[in-house]
Amino acid sequence: MGKSISEKNESVEEILKTISSKELPQHIAIIMDGNRRWAKEKSLPSIMGHRAGVKSFKRIVEFCTKVGIKFLSVYAFSLENWRRSRNEVNILLRLFEYYSRKERENLHKNGVKFKVIGRIYELPEKLQEEFRKTEEVTGKNKKLRLNLCVNYGSRAEIIDAVKNIAKEVKGNGLDPDLINEEYFSKNLYTADVPDPDLLIRTSGELRISNFLLWQIAYAEFWFSRRYWPDFDEKEFLLAIRDYQERDRRFGGTTS
C-alpha cells in the first residue's frame, strides 16, 4: 500500500525534482472513491462530497497535462452505482452533464481528448448528447487522452467483447484459432489506448471493484488513505514516485 503522506513533508516542487520525466507511467487509472464519506465526516449532504470530488478531478486532469501523463482513465460511475438512491443517481448524472458542457472548451484548450467508455447507450439521451459534443470538440487533441468511465463495469465490458467476437465467428467466418490476447483487447472499450501502468485508488479501500480487470493485469497498484476530494497534486506525485521506485519485471527477471 502506498504511503499517502510524505515523510519529509515535501512540497510539490520538491517531489517533482525526485521524479524522472523519462520514466513516467504512460497510462494512469484512478478509482475515485470517498466522496460520500468525506461529506459525512463534515456533516454535509452527499452532493457536497460529489461536487468537491469534481473539483479534485479537474485539478488532477490539468496536472496530468502539465507533468506529461498521456492517458488517464477514471472510474466515475459503475453499473452497480444504479443501486444508490434515485436522488443521488440523478445528482451524479446532472454533474456529468454539467461538467461535460462547462469544461468542454477548457479541455480543448488544454489539449485533452475526452472519451466516455461504458454502456453509454443506457444513459439519459441529454447526457449522451453532451458527451458526444465534448468528444467531437476535443477529438483531435493529443496532449492527454481522458477516459471517463460512466455506466462502466469490467465484467460487462468483457461480455460485450465476447459477444462482438462471437458475431464475427458466426457471421463473418472468423477462425477461432485467430483469437488471441491482442485480438480480444481490440474488442474492449479501451481498444485504442495502452493498458494502465499504474492504478490508484483513494479512501483506503483495497479493492478493484470491477474496474479494468483485463487491462490492469500488469499494472502497479497504489492505495491512498485520503478521500478523493482531498486527493491533490502532491498525493498524485507520491504515487508516481513510488511507481518509479518499483522493479517491473512482467513475470521475468530484472534486466
pLDDT tens, residue by residue, 157-198: 999 999 999 999 999 999 999 999 999 999 999 999 999 999
Residue 5, pLDDT above cutoff 50? no
Q: Quick check: is 117 in a domain? A: yes
Instruction: Give the percent of the chain with pLDDT over 90.
Output: 93
> 37: domain CATH number?
3.40.1180.10
Classify residue 7: in a domain, yes or no.
no
pLDDT at residue 26 tops 80: yes
In the prediction, which pLDDT does 255 show? Answer: 55
Task: Report how many domains make up the chain.
Answer: 1
pLDDT at 253: 61
What's the pLDDT band for 127 if we cut at 50, 70, 90? very high
In a domain, 16, yes or no: no
Secondary structure of the chain in HEC code, one letter for each residue: CCCCCCCCCCCHHHHHHCCCHHHCCCEEEEECCCHHHHHHHCCCCHHHHHHHHHHHHHHHHHHHHHHCCCEEEEEEEEHHHHHCCHHHHHHHHHHHHHHHHHCHHHHHHCCEEEEEECCHHHCCHHHHHHHHHHHHHHCCCCCEEEEEEEEECHHHHHHHHHHHHHHHHHHHCCCHHHCCHHHHHCCCCCCCCCCCCEEEECCCCCCCCCCCCCCCCCCEEEECCCCHHHCCHHHHHHHHHHHHCCCCCCCCCCC
Residues 6 or more apart whose CB falls under 8 angstroms from that of 46 comprise: 35, 36, 39, 40, 88, 91
Give me the domain span that covers residue 41.
21-153+196-244
CB 210 within 8 A of CB 154: yes
In a domain, 94, yes or no: yes
The answer to whether residue 136 sits within a structural domain is: yes
- Least Cα distance to 116 among 103, 95, 134, 142 occurs for 134
Cα–Cα distance measured from residue 155 to residue 37, given in angstroms and rounded to the nearest whole number: 26
d(CA 148, CA 152): 9
Instruction: Answer whether residue 218 is part of any domain.
Output: yes
pLDDT of residue 248: 79
CA distance 158 to 198: 21
Residue 165 lies in a domain: no
What is the reported pTM? 0.93
Average of per-residue pLDDT across 5-10? 64
Catalogue the active-site residues. 33, 81
pLDDT at position 2: 52
- Report residue 247's pLDDT band, with 50, 70 and 90 as the boundaries: confident
In a domain, 182, yes or no: no
Beta pairing class for 71-78 and 144-152:
parallel
Render pLDDT for 80-125 as a digit per residue (tens, 0 to 9).
999 999 999 999 999 999 999 999 999 999 999 999 999 999 999 9
Q: Is the pLDDT of residue 6 over 60?
A: no
